[in-house]
Amino acid sequence: MRLILGSASPRRRELLAQLGLEPAAVRAPDIDEDPRKGEAARDYVARMAREKAAALSCAGDEVVLCADTTVTCGRRILGKPADEKEAAEFLWLLSGRRHHVLTAVAVRTTGGIRERLVDTVVKFRPLSNAEVNGYLASGEWHGKAGGYAIQGRAGAFIPWIQGSFTGVVGLPLAETALLLRAAAIEAGAE
């Protein structure tokens, strides 16, 4: 079976490499990623992973892996900030609070789609003006759900997490490895 990564994210490719897996191809799906009015964050992120997997072609010898990550604070979905102003708004909202990072994984074969949703609780310590402005100036917030990357400078803002670190980065490895094994792709196999 050939592994097809349904994501242009370099972080997801790096995480797959930690499992000893290199995708045979990368195909980024082009779908509408806007949440529906009133859609709960868990439903939204699961729908996104499913729709990404369904949007890509899948031959008989292929396994398509797609994922979606979102940050939620209360009932609010914090996607990728549109600009620096929105990134600042997200950081101030998260400052001193717990929030959830939801990552849904969908694995598609010609036999159907298998999926998992991983919910990780992340605690931000209270942030100062200098920290928020420094982080914004770094540009690291670009293209990141919730406006931050735990594997980068924002790691200094996070005293603890409960759940999957790799799920916060964008692909929960333990759950992904199990889904891929069920689709005949073994992590770490040569």
User: Rounded to 10 degrees, what is the CA torsion of 111, 113, 30, 99?
Assistant: -170
pLDDT score recorded for residue 16: 95
* Choice among 34, 61, 68, 83 that is catalytic: 68
Given a cut of 70, is residue 14 above it in pLDDT?
yes
| Active site (annotated) includes residue 68 | yes
For 39-84, what is each residue's pLDDT tens digit?
999 999 999 999 999 999 999 999 999 999 999 999 899 999 999 9
pLDDT grade for 8, boundaries at 50, 70 and 90: confident
Q: Which pTM does this prediction carry? A: 0.93
Measured CA angle at 175 (ends 172, 181), to 5 deg: 130
Q: Which CATH architecture has domain 2-182?
A: Alpha-Beta Complex (3.90)
DSSP 161: E
Q: pLDDT band at 189, cuts 50/70/90?
A: low
Q: Does the pLDDT at position 100 exceed 90? A: yes
Q: Which residue is associated with the tokens 């924002």?
A: 154
Q: Decide if pLDDT at 190 tops 90.
A: no
Query: How confident is the model over 133-183, as pLDDT tens digits?
Result: 999 999 999 999 999 999 999 999 999 999 999 999 999 999 999 999 999
Q: Judge contact between 79 and 19, C-beta under 8 A.
A: no
SS3 9: coil
Within a 10 A sphere around the Cβ of 159, how many other Cβ atoms? Answer: 9
Q: Contact, 122 vs 100, CB < 8 A?
A: yes
